[in-house]
Structure 1
Amino acid sequence: MRGVFVDANEALAVIFERLTKPGDPKVRVHRDPDVTADRLPSVLDGADIAIVDHTALPTEIARKCAGLKHVVFLGTGARSYMNPEELAELGIAVHLIRGYGDTAVAESTIALMWAAARGIAQMDREMRAGNWLREDGMQLTGKTLGLIGFGGIAAEVARIALGGGMRVLAWNRSPKSHAGVEFVTSDKLLAESDVVSLHLLLNDETRGYLSRERIAAMKSGVILVNTARGALVDEAAMIDALKSGH
């Protein structure tokens, strides 16, 4: 089989070439991180395998990629770049890297939570303007964190939050269990959480999941962190809740 790394920047290209071992499938590294989708058929040139870092692969373009059987996606949120089910109908399998970025995104989630709880961005702006804010902020130790969706990233968020002395609730569309985490209904999670963090995949079922009604069901002064996809939230309702202080 023959493959092409279609959108490697120089740093990724050097790492990929260094890690290549004898016996690996032959892969040509295409050093151009700005490949557009319409160029993929010519870049792949009949290859069986496409290694993709961030380039979109629309189904109509995939139809033109003769010989393509496998897509290895290096990032997170593959559905934002391609439709795995439609590609499967074309005989193309999409392969993801399990656990890729879980800890990094979880740490970002925790950082955003703490920054919001302590008003760090606002304090920074005011300090640069010569003002000293006297704000108590929210002490998160002992508070309740609600995780909506519970995959690898949420599990890492739970690990860090539990270590920080928080109570962790979670709701997932399919039954799950995890040490130290209490799985509850979405209604209970929204009503009891001081911080709500989103970790759902974006699809037709989850688009707009955090609706105006669900936002209204959350505690007054709740912190919302979304390191998943923006379209999970009703944006207009979120803006209204921010303006009202809810």
Structure 2
Amino acid sequence: MTLIETQQDRTDLPLVAIPSVFDDMIEPLREAFPLLDGIARVRMHTDHTFDTHEFVERCAGAQAVIVINVHISDAMLTELAGHVRVLAFGGTGVASYVNLDLAAKLGVRICNVRHYGDAAVAEFAFALMLEITRRVGALDRQLRDGSWDGAPGLDLNGRTLAIVGLGGIGGTVARIANGFGMHVTAWDSGRGDPARFVTHNVAPVPTLTELFAGADVVSVHMPLTDETHGMITSEHLDAMRPGTIFINTARAEVIASGALEKRLARGDIPAGLDVFDTEPLPADSPLRSMPNLVLTPHVAWRSDGANRNLTRQCVESIASYFTGGDYNAVTPGVAWNTGK
């Protein structure tokens, strides 16, 4: 681990701490640092830590923190609020990473990033579908182990893909699915423009139960909010026919607690999961031993293009806060020029 700092001589400027970062985000972040010239100085640790004590220690003296894939507990947030005025998260669904109500009470602004990885997440959803239908990874391991047996696959062409949430990512998934020759259906919250169903060649379905019942593949693309928490229930999951493929690259918490694990335990549907109720996924999780699953460690959002968009938005939100703006603010916090 090394330490990267900017404008070290400008002690009159507020400090931005980046206590934890992935290797592939270091250079995109450095490219965005000029946005803070004359506004704030930066201290970035160039490794990734899940250790909460170490994370908080690395934030010492900072008024702003960029948070990359680290869950901020209530205890951490309360401690950080002694000097941190803004937390910029490298993700969209920040409600699963920090207590927004507590942040508002403590006067800490929470910022997210938006539409930074629509293509990255959509492509990864298809990577999971293709691993389930064509087993490329498993076939690679099989061949390396000396076998030439191969395995039968399934076509996506001609099958029905049901999308839960037709926003930026869901719309990109629909576009890709059309290229595969799939029949695409979707249910959406109704807050967006209804014309996007026509734009993306998607057939609307009025209820989630009907959507799940008519699908060959279900792909979830809803953000986590108070309204969407637990919105997919056991009833919806039970409506899936045996053999239906279930994909979740959104948030695990949009599914009612325990409902998906119970459905998958029946063993009659395969699934590709990139998100989990507890992350990292516990070593004793029953999901790890289910043979009908493809599991990945919440990486759908990580690509070169998404990294550039994400890191720049994080830096822009910090710059905006210190200059009186509200770019990507989820909670208002206290204005920088008024103090606490």
In the superposition, the TM-score normalised over structure 2's length comes to: 0.62
- The aligned counterpart of 1:240 is 266
- The aligned counterpart of 1:198 is 220
Within 2, Cα distance between the matches of 1:241 and 1:197? 18
Residue type of the alignment partner of 2:25: L
Between 1 and 2, higher relative CO (CA 8 Å, sep ≥ 6) is seen in 2
- Which region of structure 1 is more displaced relative to structure 2, 75-84 or 100-109? 75-84
Alignment of 1:47-196 (within 5 A): 47-65=62-80, 66-75=82-91, 77-121=93-137, 123-124=139-140, 127=143, 128=145, 130=147, 132-133=149-150, 135=152, 137-176=153-192, 177=194, 178=196, 179=199, 180-184=201-205, 185-196=207-218
SS at match of 1:42: helix
- The aligned counterpart of 2:21 is 8
Within 2, Cα distance between the matches of 1:11 and 1:106? 20
Distance of aligned partners of 1:10 and 1:145 in 2 relative to their CA distance in 1, 3 Å threshold: closer
CA offset at residue 138 of structure 1? 2.9
Alignment of 1:22-37 (within 5 A): 22-34=37-49, 36-37=51-52
In the superposition, the TM-score normalised over structure 1's length comes to: 0.83
Residue type of the alignment partner of 1:89: K
- Partners of 2:245 and 2:269 within 8 A in 1: no
CA offset at residue 10 of structure 1? 5.4
Distance of aligned partners of 1:123 and 1:5 in 2 relative to their CA distance in 1, 3 Å threshold: closer
Identity among equivalent pairs (%): 31
- Partners of 1:84 and 1:93 within 8 A in 2: no
- Verify: 1:209 aligned to 2:232, yes or no: yes
SS at match of 2:110: strand
Gaps of 5+ in 1: none
SS at match of 1:72: strand
- Verify: 1:228 aligned to 2:244, yes or no: no
Gaps of 5+ in 2: 1-13, 271-291, 293-340
CA offset at residue 240 of structure 1? 0.3
Residue type of the alignment partner of 1:188: E
- 1:23-79 Cα offsets, whole Å, 9 max, x none, are 342222233422622344432223221111122221222212222111111145433
Within 2, Cα distance between the matches of 1:226 and 1:11? 24
Distance of aligned partners of 1:243 and 1:73 in 2 relative to their CA distance in 1, 3 Å threshold: closer
Within 2, Cα distance between the matches of 1:210 and 1:129? 43
- Partners of 2:208 and 2:236 within 8 A in 1: no
Distance of aligned partners of 1:16 and 1:119 in 2 relative to their CA distance in 1, 3 Å threshold: closer
